[in-house]
Chains A and B, each alone.
Chain A
Amino acid sequence: MSTPPVFPAGTLIPPRVTLTLAEKVVRAILGVAAVGAVGAVGWLLQFLLAPVVLAVLLTYVLTPLADRLENRGLSRSRAVGMCFGLLALLAVALVAGIAPSLEHWLTMAPKGGETSDFEVQLETRIAAWEGLLLHSYPAVNWGKGFDHVREMLQHQRRMLVEGLPTMVLGALSHVGAVVLGFVIAFFALLDGAVMKKAVVALVPNRHFENALLMLHRIDRQVSAYLIGTALENLLVMGLVAVPLLALGMPNALLFAALFGAANVVPFVGPFIGASAGLLFSLLDPAAPSLLSLVVVYAVVHFVDAGVISPWIMGKSLDMHPLTVIVGIAVGGTLGGVPGMLAIIPSIAVVKAIATTVAEGVRNDATG
């Protein structure tokens, strides 16, 4: 076999494209203009934000299921249809489980200056505690302290008993945005791969591999976080629902769902979720004791923090725990609860972009 001929440098391999300063300036201006245009369009279409966020969540959570169904021989449209069917069944089951409680609460809300049963029950409980302490420690002046407790608990009662059903019914009034979110998610699930390919196809050949890798890294991180969060909170909801049902807690499913939903918010979420159930135990004579509920919520929270969260999120999220803690603190300071929710996926996206850009710079320096 003859050895292929050897040529001087630059004969076979074209040199890299080097831009002049003017070209770099023009590119920078075009880049800034493009970012500005995207921002302006985003601002004009901000009414679409809620449906799009819902669609993204649904798409990420349902994609693995749709893919698995498709690979079992179903057509893509059938697989996606089946995912939405399952989702609808879950929603119907949850609404059927929760609606009677909400209806009951609404009928019990005070009308025209009346005192509700919940208010009476709470006052009875507070009076009983005050009486017990006065009997045991008569030398202490409990009156002032209990006035504060009474005021705080009655405020919380108003928020829970009157505010929660109104809030849930108010959310139902945004049905248009929810339907739009579902429609967008349906098409994203159906043609997501084609859409992604179409976006990547617009990237010039020179940056194509890097763009593809970056999209994949973002996709993997966000998907892992969202699926992990959904799975973790579903498990937590189930873990709370079982003992609450066993203890005979009224509206057990509703309080389990509230705890699961609030658990999405890092750090403070479990306390917010638990406070609803704990307060309700003070209002309803049929509820189990406060202590038993504290034990249930505390045990589930420790199981979540010690076992479920590290097991699910540790496997799915390629991020140091310190980054997560500092990120959540920064997110909470900047944007409150929405900031805390958005910060981890945002860090993941920034990390993926930074890694890819660094690789691109390294590659440009090669060869």
Chain B
Amino acid sequence: MSLETEVALWKPQTSLEGKTDELATLRGIPLFRDLDDVALTRLSKLLHERHYAPNEVVFREGQTGAGMYILERGAVDIVLRLADGSEQCVVSLKAGQFFGELALLEASPRTATAVVRQPTVLLGLFQPDLDQLLDRNAKLGARVVWNLARMTGQRLRELSDLMRERAASAPKGTS
């Protein structure tokens, strides 16, 4: 990865069209469901737009996380490093999807590495901004946190189902 790819490209002004695109992206995110356009506009002010080049790492497994990312454009692979050092792509995310949301709840180590596969635009929502939102607009902040709790529960259920499925398909006598 060249040094140039690390440099964030900052767009000084967001066009009206770009703003509409951003709201449309946010409307599709489960974390922001049930929020009206006024609330979404307020939330969009908290988001940080970041531009990434192919093969650039968004974050690495084990690093302390500060927040979540929403994929506005492009693609991101979520990669696990296995015990023997080998790597496994557990999911490839596309526009409208999101990742890293657990770091919104606590500054815990990232559980996987996120690698960009094509020119990508991410919208970052970070714990300090969510804290500030809870302080200053508790109603809106509480709705986001409530949605986050529901999503976390849903992901836990999905994980349990996956483990059950794998356990069922594994040959008898293996663990």
Chain A interface (Cβ < 8 Å from any Cβ of B): 1, 3-14, 17, 64, 67-68, 71, 193-194, 197-198, 200-206, 208-210, 212-213, 216, 220, 359, 362-363, 366-367
Contact = CB atoms under 8 A, between A and B. Distances in A.
Contacts of A200: 48
Interface string B122-137: 0010101000000011
Interface in B108-151: 109, 113, 115, 124, 126, 128, 136-137
B173 interface: no
Contacts of A4: 88-90
Nearest to A212: B126
Assign chain B's interface to a size class.
Answer: 35 or more
A205 B137 contact: no
Q: Which of A12, A14, A201, A204 has the most chain B CB atoms inside 10 A of its CB?
A: A12
Contact of B56 (A6, A7, A205, A216): A205
B66 A367 contact: no
Contacts of B12: 198
Nearest to B59: A209
Nearest to B113: A13
26 contacts: A4-B90, A8-B86, A8-B87, A11-B87, A13-B81, A14-B1, A14-B55, A14-B57, A67-B137, A197-B48, A201-B8, A201-B48, A208-B8, A209-B67, A209-B126, A213-B126, A359-B64, A363-B64, A366-B60, A366-B61, A366-B62, A366-B63, A366-B109, A367-B60, A367-B61, A367-B63
The 10 A-B pairs at the shortest CB distance, nearest first, are namely A216-B128, A366-B62, A201-B10, A367-B60, A9-B85, A67-B136, A12-B87, A363-B63, A209-B66, A204-B6
Interface string B49-76: 1101001111111111111000000000
Given A7-B86, A13-B57, A366-B63, A213 B162 contact: no
A208 B109 contact: no
B57 A213 contact: no
A3 B62 CA distance: 23
Nearest to B161: A1
Given A205-B58, A363-B63, A367-B63, A13 B115 contact: yes
